Amino acid sequence: MDTKEELPVFYQDIGATKDEAPKDKFNLVYLIFLLQGTGVLFPWNAFISAPDYFSALYFPNTMLYFSVAYSVPNLLGLLFMIKFGSKLSLRMKMIPAYVLTFFILILVPILGFAGVNGIAGFSVTIVLIILAALCTSLLQGGIFGFAGVLPPNYTQAVMSGNGIAGVACSFLRIVTKLTIEQNKKHVPIQTMTISAAVYFFVCALVIIACIATFIIIMRTPFVQHYLQKASEPKTSINDQSQSYDEVSTLVPTSTPQKSGIFTVFKKIWIQACLVMTVFWMTLSVFPGLSVSVPTYYTGTVMKDWLPILIGASFNIFDFIGRSAPRWIVMFNRKWVAAPIFVRLLLVPLFVFMYKPSIVGLDAFNDAVPLLAISAVALTNGYLSSLCMMYGPSLVDDHEKETAGTIMTFFLLMGICLGSNTGLVIGQAIPGDIHPYVE
């Protein structure tokens, strides 16, 4: 393949560009973008990495409803961002959303301690998920647009951070379950609530770290250089002593000279549709169908552990997939569509595992769903990262922020379509998909 034409520019030395960009010393900016990517998806991963707790508190298969409650507001929130986000500075998009996310994570275990369960607890939890989704749309629109004005490896850092969020949440949930619930076959709901409280409180601390590091990153010469570069078609910047607050408002400021959304979309529509397809397939089977797969070892602790292990497997391999493009690119932008469509063949397998009686079985061996979800996760992380990097690389510098936002919108469109597809499949197959009954 023609590496000069096809490979993302993160293979170049970012400190040796033609306009002498400052060095990213110690990869500090890259690492902070990694953390920001983690914080953006921490709320969602916090919810889906505790399926055992919510199933015990409310009813089985809550994840099917959680997925829809999260994905639809998340998509609508980003639509709002595309229309009106230019009126907000980058700081106004990020910091208030992080603060509200912090309080949402704190409130979840408080509901359990207060004994708010049943239909009331489920309804409040759904409202919290909706609020978290709206916050995430602000954060995603802000951070991907922000990363889009930097070299493509910073978008990859955000994508890898998204993967770290899942791995970290799964690890935290496993640790709290082992240390507090002590791997007992039958665990009282009070003990599970204590375990969940420790888990959600630690997740909230990560959000505090994201706020602090976001403030730091805006002060770095490296970031200020690229923000100024992105603003050049809109305004002339001669005063290099501008404060980071002044520079940070340049990126989201809308002016008549900025390329329109449709103009940018025409350049990146193929990559946008491909990333949508990746997440459509993924969310149609995870978390809803996959974490509801019955264990082969009935009557054992695997009833609680299988959904946690499925979630952990997904998050680990998704992270590996998101990180891999930093070192190896197997598909250029002309061929990346092929594996994206091949992986659609995995969807029927998850339907059979979710309802094994369709193929005359009581249950599949637990290794089957674990291997299948690992394959879905690895390809999800890898292929989506390639698409998210290829998209902004197809446009001019002053269009990169818009391209990043459009790519994020189509990513969320895929999540929304996938979660609703999963719910439709679950409803179409006779099973135990039902709301809580008092």
Please state at what angle helix 28-48 crosses helix 90-113, rounded to 10 degrees.
30
- The answer, yes or no, to whether residue 39 has pLDDT greater than 60, is yes
pLDDT > 70 in the chain, percent? 86
pLDDT confidence of residue 3: 41
Mean pLDDT for 16-30 is: 77
Measured between alpha carbons, how far is residue 159 from residues 153, 162, 205, 382, 412 in Å? Answer: 10, 5, 21, 10, 13
Average of per-residue pLDDT across 232-249: 45
For 337-378, the pLDDT digits (tens) are: 999 999 999 999 999 998 888 888 888 999 999 999 999 999
**Topology of domain 23-428, per CATH?**
Growth Hormone; Chain: A; (1.20.1250)
Sequence spans of domains, the chain: 23-428
61 by Cβ neighbours in 10 Å (0-12 / 13-18 / 19+) ranks as buried
> In the prediction, which pLDDT does 258 show?
57
The whole-model pTM stands at 0.75
pLDDT of residue 265: 93
Q: What is the pLDDT of residue 430?
A: 61
The structure tokens 């914080």 sit at 39
